[in-house]
Amino acid sequence: MSGLGKGITAASIGRLLMNRGYRVTAIKIDPYINIDAGLMSPFQHGEVYVLKDGGEVDLDLGNYERFLDVELTREHNITTGKVYKTVIEKERRGEYLGKTVQIIPHITDEIKRRIRSVSREGGNEICLVEVGGTVGDIESMPFLEAMRQLRHEESGNIFFVHVTLAPTTMDGEQKTKPTQHSVKEMRGLGLQPDMIAVRCEKPLLPETKQKIAHFCDVPIEAVISCHDADDIYQVPLQLEKEGLSTYLMKEMRLFPLDERKDWDELVRKMDSPRGQVLVAIVGKYTASSQCTDTMEDAYLSIREALKHAGIESGFRPLISWIDAEELNHGAPEIMLREFDGILVPGGFGSRGTEGKMKAVEYARTRKVPYLGICFGMQLAVVEFARNVLGLVGANSTEFGDTQHPVIALLPEQEGLREMGATMRLGNYAAHLLEGSLAHRIYGSTDIVERHRHRYEVNPSYIDAMEEKGLIFSGRNGDLMEIAEISDHPFFFASQFHPEMRSRPGRPSPPFLAFVEAMAERRAR
């Protein structure tokens, strides 16, 4: 079923295969009819993850990039919308030569074509394919049928891992019926699992494994306990202890090419920090009416980037989620006084903006380390324009007409069409000012980071801001990429999303510098 942990399970399997020396890539199949995740609410679906080519995709693609240390493209996310759109366009061009277009073979052929195309590009040896959704969903059926066909067409090169649930009763008994019924449903569709990864609260008991193996027709070694872990980065090591990679490689006729231990070292460092820092994330997707998991999923990459920085620096960030609307009606000197740093993330729309700017002002005036991301940079510019330049009512044109549009849609250099009418998505380069905080953080004057935004800093106000101390130290032509305050211990705001390129063992430079600045403040 959805939300069970298929993405983390698949990513962990990929990591184990990488540790054996194989080149691994991944595909996420989302059965929804949306073309991509770009218009989905973070409350409902978690964050929208942006790939290097600008693809807006499901957050599981972010887990794949982090676990496998790869860069994927929009082709690695297959949705019902993409498949049907392609098939209909082919039909309109007459490519089916007058045939009746049907789910079988035309839709299933398009699914298989996309899987094969991604699997065979880039010199990869193994491709993980996660089929999202729940067994029995109507929308999943074409994808499951395509998997059945692939099993025969790619005989010997396909291995099915079925992720199921074994709930625990109040008296501690592990129930196997949900797994039995799920596997029965899959077998009715012609899909026999080669391995069953069982999500459970505590490790599966030997008798539970034996029962699942007996009723689901798999060897007992193929029943893997995926019990709860303290952190998702512990899951690969947990699955290794369960013997998952040994069994999988035996069945797939694979031999170890290497034996990397860097993930073990990463987890060891993560589990033994030198200290901790307290960070407040002031966002609009942290409403108290929503569950904590939803809050964290809305800012998943930020949470992971902070974790990566914490592992590298030795200081574990303890995150508190602050609702920007509550801060708007509260006192920042009370709500924010305990924190070593303040982070304002991206977002769209006017809700919560005044509260976020209160957080920016507090960080600026109290010399608290500040990291602003995308919208967090734009609001830092607006707050500076209002409270330092004295431009009353300065704002972004995203929220309507304003006398001082310090954030606005900018005309394109080559034409009359407004650039902000379409979003700036994916990788863009930036040139950094030598000697600036940005330059020190990155150790280079030229960088590439990922973007997802529409509005830009208005060049008409840049000179006035820089005269007062807000320096735009990163630029892409006339586009402002980084803002910093020179007489502040750490005030760094970026138009891009540095969290999207952060990796375990290779943290994002701004996040690492932010955590180190918080640790210095805490030490003082």
Q: What is the gyration radius of the CA atoms in the chain, in angstroms?
A: 25
- Distances from the Cα of 306 to the Cαs of 61, 175, 199, 516, in angstroms? 18, 37, 27, 11
CA distance 308 to 347: 22
Which residues on adjacent β-strands are paired with residue 447? 430
How far is it, in rounded angstroms, from Cα 378 to Cα 357? Answer: 10
CB neighbour list of residue 224: distance below 8 Å, 6 or more residues apart: 195, 196, 197, 198, 239, 242, 243, 244
Cis before 507? omega within 30: no
Q: Report CA 112 to chain centroid distance, whole Å.
A: 26
Cα–Cα distance, 80 to 83 (Å, whole number): 5
Q: Which one from 127, 200, 216, 374 is the annotated catalytic residue? A: 374
Active-site pick, 65, 304, 497, 516: 497
Element (H, E) at 447: strand 446-453
Among this protein's residues, is 499 annotated catalytic? yes
Task: Compute the distance between CA of residue 418 and CA of residue 409 in angstroms, rounded to an integer.
Answer: 7
312 is catalytic: no
CA–CA distance, 288 with 304 (Å, rounded to integer): 22
Q: Which residues contact 448 (CB under 8 A, 6 or more apart)?
A: 427, 428, 429, 430
Max distance between CA atoms of the chain, in angstroms, equals: 76
Distance CA 49, CA 323 (A): 22
Cβ 473 vs Cβ 444: under 8 Å: no
Verify whether residue 497 is a known catalytic residue.
Answer: yes
CA dihedral 433, 434, 437, 440 (to 10 degrees): 130
**Could you write out the DSSP letters of every residue in 212-270?**
HHHHHTS-GGGEEEEE--SSGGGHHHHHHHTTHHHHHHHHTT---S----HHHHHHHHH
Q: How far is CA 442 from the centre of its chain?
A: 22
Cβ–Cβ under 8 Å, residues 489 and 508: no
Query: Structure tokens of 46?
Result: 């978690």
- Catalytically annotated residue among 312, 481, 484, 499: 499
Contact 37, 67 (CB under 8 A): no
Residues 324 and 352: their CA atoms lie apart, in Å, by 5
Q: Which residues are known catalytic residues?
A: 374, 497, 499
